[in-house]
Amino acid sequence: MSTSRDKILGKLRAARRPFEDAPPRPQNYLPVTLQDDLSPDGLLDRFSRELVGIKGEIFPVIGEAAACDQVLKLLASHSATRILAWDFAHIPVSGLEDAIRANNIEILQPDTHHEDRAAVLALAETAQVSITGADAAAATTGSLIFSTAPGRGRIPTVLAPVHIAVIRQDQIVPRLESWFAAQRQSGLGAFQQSANFCFITGPSRTGDIEMELILGVHGPGRVQVVVIR
């Protein structure tokens, strides 16, 4: 006697076009979120409002020198003595690594692909702040977009209590769909080369049964974004 599973699989195998009634794929999709002002300043303004609305913090600055100074001010405000960081080649601020070391702050760039993985993670857990760049930022949701690659690990985006991301203003796209569309146009190379993608929208948050929102339970409790105009 055939089982229900056998009957279902048999029907699927027998059907040449199991979804004959499915409509054709549309040429254009309606956006989930709307943004009329697509100018650089308009996108920055929307990104700022959305990020602040989800308890993130934003620091627009003009030029790399000002960005470096702003990062150092933020590190001082957190009394940081040890930080996690991407390879600084992927953070758009020249001289930032040297400036951080000059302030006697230890920089960890954790590599967990070795036998001493446990020791590396134990040391990484003592860092007060992390610093990264980002692939892009979505204006209508205040989201940061990250892909993992050599020198751009996931640990700095999730482990430290405070996450500082440094981006250029031209990395702000209108919405997440805009970023996906750009990846399709470029042949999806980023998806083939990266093992992980993260979409971070503000500080880590969770809610209990009484609907009380708590920040920082499963990741950074503070997300600070320095935008270079």
Q: Is 32 part of any domain? A: no
Domain that holds residue 213: 37-228
Domain tally for the chain? Answer: 1
pLDDT score for 2? 67
pLDDT at 183: 85
In a domain, 191, yes or no: yes
Residue 18 lies in a domain: no
**Residue 215 included in any domain:** yes
Mean pLDDT within 196-200: 89
CA distance 207 to 109: 32
Q: Report the distance separating Cα 208 and Cα 100, nearest Å.
A: 39
Residue 186 counted as domain residue: yes
For residue 40 the two structure tokens come to 């650089």
| H-run or E-run covering 13 | helix 4-14
Domain containing residue 164: CATH number: 3.40.50.10420
Residue 1 located in a structural domain: no
Cβ neighbors of 229 (< 8 A, separation 6 or more) are 44, 60, 61, 62, 63, 169
Do 173 and 182 form a contact (C-beta atoms < 8 A)? yes
Distance CA 68, CA 72 (A): 6
pLDDT digits (tens, 9 = 90+) for 25-55: 777 778 889 999 999 999 999 999 999 999 9
E strand segments, 6-161: 57-61, 82-85, 106-108, 129-132, 136-138, 143-147
- The structure's pTM equals 0.85
Asked if residue 170 has pLDDT above 80, the reply is: yes
Could you give the angle at the alpha carbon of 201 between the alpha carbons of 197 and 204, nearest 5°? 100
In terms of residues, how long is the chain? 229
- Residue 170 placed within a domain: yes
Give just the sign of the alpha carbon dihedral 198, 200, 204, 209: negative
The pair of structure tokens assigned to 115 is: 């036998």
What's the mean per-residue pLDDT of the chain? 90
Which tens digit of pLDDT belongs to each residue from 83-138? Answer: 999 999 999 999 999 999 999 999 999 887 777 888 989 999 999 999 999 999 99
Residues linked to residue 205 through DSSP beta bridges, in sequence order: 215
- Judge whether 147 lies within some domain: yes
pLDDT: which is higher, 180 or 127: 127
